[in-house]
Amino acid sequence: MSRHIPTYELYGENVGRSPEFWLHCETIRSRSSLHQWEIRLHRHESFFQILYIEAGSGDAIFGESSHAIRPPAVVTVPPGFNHGFRFSRNIDGLVITILRSHLSHPPGERSHLGEWLATPHLTPLDPDHAEAAHVMQTLRRLGDEFENRRSGRNEVLAAYVALALRLTARISHEGNARELSSNENERRMDLLGELIQQHFRSHKPASFYARELGVSPTHLTRIVRSMTGSTPHELIAAKLVEEAKRQLVFTLSSVQEIGFRLGFADPAYFSRFFLKYTGETPRVWRIREKVRLEGV
């Protein structure tokens, strides 16, 4: 049997009266401390919420999923979406409740921002990132503006809400794009490893691997550098050296034969190649390594 999810205006306050405000702002501590720092699963039918977490920690529950909160961060929750929170006792920040009709882009509207507002988000903020720092400052100023009834208060609050949401959505999208890019780069690195395993003996150039992966040689170099700190050429060379070492230790083949099997037509070039990457010639390395293994 499905459990009943209560609907509130502010958490713990039942619906049934017309809201007397279009925006409400209070500290997270003031509301959560009344409920032992846990805001149980609930929803708001007409309100959009922004939580700015400045210190402390906790968990945001969106439907059936839980997400760890690490400050600074912004949580956005659209109307009608089941959500809840667990907070540490040192939590610090703001919860801003806004009448849906007062949002410049209603959740679900066919726009970039409207679509983003239609689902809950937990967006980490990097204080060293200019736009994230601006979001933090804007939400702090919103809290101050709410507390002080100065002239033009509603217009200023509306401007702060619009700016904070627009920038938070941008930060969230950029973070998702970086994550997708990172996942795609990991996939390409896996494919590159498989291709090198297949072709390293033929000494294919980096451009061959780039073509197989559907990227330019420059882009492949950029990906490999970002993921490993090396170049594609260095990865290919490392595979050749690894296989050369394996054969030098575990076969009785001559250095010349091993070089031929690894695609080196000139034994002298194979020796120079091995020396460049290990600091020793193949013969010297083989003797030293066998002595070391016999002593183990």
| CATH assignment of the domain containing 262 | 1.10.10.60
In the 8-state DSSP scheme, what is residue 84? E
The domain boundary, picked from 150, 180, 210, lies at 180
Q: Are residues 250 and 165 in the same domain?
A: no
Cα–Cα dist 36/131, whole Å = 34
Q: pLDDT: is 35 or 14 the higher one?
A: 35
Neighbours of 33 (CB within 10 A): 13
Burial of 289 (0-12, 13-18, 19+ CB in 10 A): middle
Q: Are residues 31 and 171 in the same domain?
A: yes
Which three-class secondary structure string do you get for 85-112? Answer: EEECCCCEEEEEEEEHHHCCCCCCCCCH
Find the CATH number of the domain harbouring 173.
2.60.120.280
Q: Is residue 245 over pLDDT 70?
A: yes
The mean pLDDT value for 19-32 works out to 85
- Least confident span in 3-12, 171-180, 225-234, 272-281: 3-12
When pLDDT is cut at 50, 70 and 90, the band that residue 3 belongs to is low
pLDDT digits (tens, 9 = 90+) for 37-65: 999 999 888 899 999 999 999 999 998 89
Q: Are residues 275 and 152 in the same domain?
A: no
Question: Is 99 contained in some domain?
Answer: yes
- Report residue 37 as tokens: 């720092």
The domain boundary, picked from 143, 163, 180, lies at 180
Pairing of strands 121-124, 47-55: unpaired
Q: Are residues 238 and 160 in the same domain?
A: no
- The domain in which residue 285 lies consists of 234-294
Question: Is 254 contained in some domain?
Answer: yes
Predicted pLDDT of residue 16 = 42
- Report residue 112 as tokens: 């970039």
Q: pLDDT: is 2 or 188 the higher one?
A: 188
The mean pLDDT value for 178-202 works out to 86
The mean pLDDT value for 20-24 works out to 80
When pLDDT is cut at 50, 70 and 90, the band that residue 32 belongs to is very high
pLDDT digits (tens, 9 = 90+) for 147-174: 998 899 999 999 999 999 999 999 988 8
Q: Are residues 171 and 282 in the same domain?
A: no
**Phi/psi of residue 26, nearest 5 degrees:** -150, 165
Predicted pLDDT of residue 111 = 77
Query: Please, are residues 100 and 22 in contact by the beta-carbon 8 Å criterion?
Result: no
Q: pLDDT: is 183 or 296 the higher one?
A: 183
- Our count of domains for the chain comes to 2
Question: Is 160 contained in some domain?
Answer: yes
Q: pLDDT: is 233 or 13 the higher one?
A: 233
Q: Are residues 49 and 112 in the same domain?
A: yes
Question: Is 211 contained in some domain?
Answer: no
In the 8-state DSSP scheme, what is residue 78? -
* Mean pLDDT rounded to a whole number for the chain: 89
User: Under 8 Å CB-to-CB from 44, ≥6 apart: which residues?
Assistant: 7, 8, 9, 77, 79, 80, 97
When pLDDT is cut at 50, 70 and 90, the band that residue 179 belongs to is low
Closest CA to 27 of 48, 56, 7: 56
DSSP string, 6-73: -BBSSTT-BS-S--S-SEEEEEHHHHHGGGTTEEEEEB-SSEEEEEEEEES-EEEEETTEEEEE-SSE
Question: Is 135 contained in some domain?
Answer: yes
Cα–Cα dist 89/199, whole Å = 58
Q: For the stretch 191-218, what's the b/e string if a residue is b when 16 or more beta carbons lie within 10 angstroms of its beta carbon?
A: ebeebbeebbeeebebebbbebbeeeee
Question: Is 285 contained in some domain?
Answer: yes
pLDDT digits (tens, 9 = 90+) for 75-133: 999 999 999 999 999 999 999 999 988 888 878 777 788 888 889 999 999 998 999 99
Position 262, amino acid: L
**Phi/psi of residue 232, nearest 5 degrees:** -55, -40
Q: Are residues 125 and 250 in the same domain?
A: no
Question: Is 283 contained in some domain?
Answer: yes
Q: Are residues 152 and 54 in the same domain?
A: yes
The domain boundary, picked from 148, 180, 212, lies at 180
Question: Is 192 contained in some domain?
Answer: no
**Phi/psi of residue 253, nearest 5 degrees:** -65, 150
Q: Are residues 136 and 67 in the same domain?
A: yes
Q: Are residues 246 and 176 in the same domain?
A: no
Q: Are residues 135 and 247 in the same domain?
A: no
Whole-prediction pTM: 0.61
Percent with pLDDT over 70 in the chain? 91
